Amino acid sequence: MDAGLQEVRDVVSRSALSSEVRRQVLGRLDQLPPLYRGLEATYESRFHEAIIQVTRDVLKCLVAADGASADSRQVAEGFVSTLQQMHERLGLPHLGLKLPAPTPAPRKKAK
């Protein structure tokens, strides 16, 4: 489990995300290890729900702040893929994560 979470951190750290987005994402990722330990120890749904909420927050952060960036999309895809693989490998409940649609650029008003 720790190896999978470290893999996600490494992807974020190596990315070309802005320093602010990287800081926000890594801060949210820091919330996951104790949640996974709680889930592993008790299998209580509250830990699973908290993990889902943190992962959704990470995805929202990636798409909202750097939504136009190809790198943020790659990080988000890697994040989802790595977590899903980790869950399958460890026999944990599926997260059901989907990448949010990129925020469309505002349209210019016709004159």
**What is the residue type of 12?**
V
Q: pLDDT tens digits, residue range 37-85?
A: 999 899 899 999 999 999 999 998 888 765 557 788 888 888 888 888 8
Tell me what pLDDT residue 102 has.
61
Within 8 A by CB and 6+ apart from 61, the residues are 21, 24, 25, 28
Sign of torsion over alpha carbons 42, 92, 80, 103? negative
Tell me what pLDDT residue 23 has.
92
Tell me what pLDDT residue 31 has.
96
How many residues in the chain? 111
Tell me what pLDDT residue 36 has.
92
Q: Are 59 and 79 in contact (CB under 8 A)?
A: yes
pLDDT exceeds cutoff 80 at 13 = yes
pLDDT band at 25 (very low <50, low <70, confident <90, very high): very high
Q: State the residue for tokens 């830990």.
A: 47
Tell me what pLDDT residue 90 has.
83
Q: What is the 3 state secondary structure string of 45-72?
A: HHHHHHHHHHHHHHHHHHHHHCCCCHHH
